[in-house]
Chain A
């Protein structure tokens, strides 16, 4: 098997408020292989975005990593100095944000922002950077790129702004692109176009993509493998087809069961519904325990050890570990 490009190992992230600190992310393990699209799915508050920000080392001051490694191309990002990390950001790993308009500087022309990103990592003249920026914008599917390059962000539509952001983030050809719900706030046809674009550019540049989303439909279309996250823990990780056909974690099962289908009446099967309970970050065992219909004694006590069910299919659940534990 090819050496993974990104390897996140037993990552633990603590957030401190006034009196105590909580491990929001606990024992997060996954990897992204070269030239692969990896999905990271989960509901709101599951820690997807925090995981991405940790990889970028853009964490808010209250958050700190207390354990784990994030290896990118063999280097542990968590141990780099800030100036080394600066070299990595943009040229090795870049991130597309949720709200494209908010991610662009409102006082700077779109083209200039892309050109500046180029100048950060390359030795170019300003004129050359500007020329290449227009080229990148055109490549990101912006028609009339020259005049759009002179536009300010508020003059661009949401989809257009996301294309600018994508052009900017891919300007220096990162090995890994993280896309954090890149289509929230865009209408459905534009969403499809943006995913097309991201997939096309990913294939062209040979970059790997870590796609963060809560939309399983998107995952099935775009990703090769997927990791399911809940309450800051990885629940299950598998190739997409495997996950959709043989979900092995009760949470994954219910997540898939929650997809509404046009050809079926939407009825709520009480036996398949997840109990209403707030996310339990404090359970030392499996954090899904308080909502899990099959909960066992062990789920409240200790974290399940990962169980390899098939090639690349790993699940963290005591149900699949009976006898093993």
Chain B
């Protein structure tokens, strides 16, 4: 027999990879995505246990130590009231992440539901919903959130509501478009064909299959919501001093830029930039990953 055709001596191993090792390989392949995910996990960790790590209460003042440079006692320095910026940044993590998740999740839920039903049933309701979406999308999300916060009043729930409303139209559009594709799939007919009522076909079979684009949007909106909430606070809308919140802190620090106390605005600013960056690369990474999955 030709030597080249004989199987190599020894065992031919059929390697079975566990879910874990496949996961690890994916981490290798999607470095940027994994890096972003790691950053987000770090923030979530801080949001959960941050208050335990903080050396001081966020609003505890130290009148004899105002505008101190970073030092072992005040790692990120102190502001003009002598409040520890490190502690405030840690506390703010919980608040800002909570706002981001509340906004993204509620906009996702409402938008996916409305968009999905509107796309499936079509007709007059669909037309009305889409025109309303057009109107909302005519305003930049941030301007819309500003106006809504102005109308609703400066409380944290109102900020969440305002930013959510600004982002709902994106989710409606994306889910509706996907539903228009999915509803013509044969499994939609097959599901009706075995005797499912229409509502169950939509909710159980079609809606879950229409969520991919909205799901990617969710991660992006998480980042945008943080920027918006902080941006509103910076402008003095929504979340107001003395609340420990990144935007509020940056706004207070901004007055100190010319006087040289850089730590007052740099650390909260960095906290915003890094998390917004992390959500953004995770969103992009997920889009590539899921687009590849769909072939």
Contact = CB atoms under 8 A, between A and B. Distances in A.
Given A105-B205, A107-B208, A107-B209, A90 B195 contact: yes
B193 A95 contact: yes
B184 to A, nearest CB: 9
Contacts of B205: 105, 108
A108 B191 CA distance: 12
Given A105-B209, A106-B209, A97 B189 contact: yes
B195 A91 contact: yes
B192 A104 contact: no
Contact of A103 (B190, B197, B208, B209): B190
Contacts of B197: 83, 86
Interface string A97-113: 11100111111100000
A121 B209 CA distance: 24
Interface in A138-166: 165
A89 B189 contact: no
Nearest to B209: A107
B194 interface: yes
B192 to A, nearest CB: 6
Contact of B195 (A53, A97, A107, A120): A120
Interface in A37-59: 53, 56, 58
Chain B interface helix/strand/loop/mixed: helix
Given A58-B189, A97-B189, A102-B187, A169 B209 contact: no
A108 B209 CA distance: 10
A104 B195 contact: no
Contacts of B187: 102-106
B38 interface: no
A53 B209 CA distance: 23
Interface centre among B189, B197, B208, by most chain A C-beta atoms within 10 angstroms, is B189
Contacts of B209: 105-107
Given A105-B209, A107-B208, A168 B195 contact: no
A117 interface: yes
A117 B192 contact: no
A89 B192 contact: yes
Interface string A103-140: 11111100000001100110000000000000000000
Contacts of A83: 197
B180 to A, nearest CB: 13
B192 A99 contact: no
A120 to B, nearest CB: 5
B22 to A, nearest CB: 15
Nearest to A165: B190
A283 B186 CA distance: 32
B214 to A, nearest CB: 14
A168 B194 contact: yes
A56 B198 CA distance: 14
A21 interface: no
B191 A169 contact: no
B193 A87 contact: no
A165 B189 CA distance: 13
A240 interface: no
B193 A120 contact: no
Nearest to B198: A82
A94 interface: yes
A89 B195 contact: yes
Contacts of B203: none
Contacts of B195: 86-91, 117, 120-121, 172
Given A105-B205, A105-B209, A107-B209, A90 B194 contact: yes
Contacts of A98: 186
B196 interface: yes
Contacts of B185: 102
A98 to B, nearest CB: 8
Interface of A: 53, 56, 58, 82-83, 86-91, 94-95, 97-99, 102-108, 116-117, 120-121, 165, 168-169, 171-172
28 contacts: A53-B189, A58-B189, A83-B197, A86-B197, A87-B195, A89-B192, A89-B194, A90-B195, A91-B195, A94-B193, A94-B194, A97-B186, A97-B193, A98-B186, A103-B186, A103-B190, A104-B187, A104-B190, A105-B187, A105-B205, A105-B209, A107-B208, A116-B196, A117-B194, A120-B194, A120-B195, A120-B196, A165-B190
Interface of B: 185-187, 189-198, 205, 208-209
Given A89-B192, A103-B186, A172-B195, 6 more contacts: A94-B194, A97-B186, A97-B193, A99-B186, A104-B190, A169-B193
Q: Which 4 A-B pairs have the closest CB atoms?
A: A90-B195, A90-B194, A102-B186, A103-B190
